[in-house]
């Protein structure tokens, strides 16, 4: 009986609600720290702290953890268990400890405050960790399990610990054309006009217009 009641309570506590064009799970916290641009999805177990901006149509995965000053562009997709840490413990002081149990938490003011900026149309795979003062370019792909500690160029595919570039997704000309097009900034009507471009395979292509 106790298990049944627990399941019922969990079901109702985790009801999905839609607020201001954002779909949110009941088990996510710190939503007051986020500015959503709309059409966002926040599943269960997400936690937000700091100052965070999430772009239009960007969707998160379960158990995402975002802390610090973080900006994420439009049309990004984050996998499950992604952690983005723009803050860090103090490294050059007596202790890295910033908990309330020491000096009533006064050492918290010594923690490092960085900024993480993620471009548009970025795919962040399962279990990726991003730390430090990092900029990730448009169209980048961060493979599952990567630990990103340095800037990632636009349309690069990276993997590993620490993450390293494997290759570029497209030729330099194709990348330049997409960057010039800036499709993520277009209205739905404008996107319809270039819809066919999204169904083209750019493998070995020298232009998105070929």
Name the residues annotated as catalytic: 89
Sorted by sequence, the CB contacts under 8 Å of residue 121 that are 6+ apart come out as 73, 74, 75, 76, 138, 139, 184
CA dist 37 → 29, 127, 182 (Å): 18, 24, 17
Beta bridge partners of 113: 87
Of 29, 30, 26, the residue nearest 15 (C-alpha):
26
Secondary structure tally for the chain: helices H, strands E: 3, 18
Distance between CA atoms of 103 and 168, rounded to whole angstroms? 49
Of 86, 42, 85, 81, the residue nearest 63 (C-alpha):
81
């Amino acid at each position: 009986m106790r298990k049944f009641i627990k399941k019922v309570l969990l079901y109702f506590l985790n009801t999905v609600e839609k607020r201001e064009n954002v779909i949110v799970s009941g088990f996510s916290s710190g939503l007051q720290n986020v500015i959503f641009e709309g059409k966002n999805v926040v599943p269960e177990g997400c936690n937000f702290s700091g100052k965070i901006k999430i772009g239009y149509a960007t969707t998160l995965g379960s158990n995402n953890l975002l802390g610090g000053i973080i900006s994420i562009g439009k049309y990004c997709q984050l996998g499950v268990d992604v952690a983005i840490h723009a803050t860090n413990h103090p490294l050059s002081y007596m202790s890295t400890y910033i908990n309330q149990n020491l000096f009533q938490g006064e050492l918290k003011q010594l923690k490092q405050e960085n900024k993480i900026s993620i471009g548009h149309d970025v795919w962040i795979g399962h279990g990726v960790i991003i730390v430090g003062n990092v900029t990730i370019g448009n169209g980048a792909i961060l493979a599952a399990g990567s630990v990103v500690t340095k800037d990632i160029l636009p349309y690069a595919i990276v993997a590993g610990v620490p993450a390293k570039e494997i290759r570029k997704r497209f030729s330099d000309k194709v990348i330049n054309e997409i960057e010039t097009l800036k499709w993520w900034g277009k209205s739905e009507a404008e996107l319809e006009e270039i819809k066919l471009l999204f169904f083209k395979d750019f493998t070995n292509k020298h232009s998105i217009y070929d």
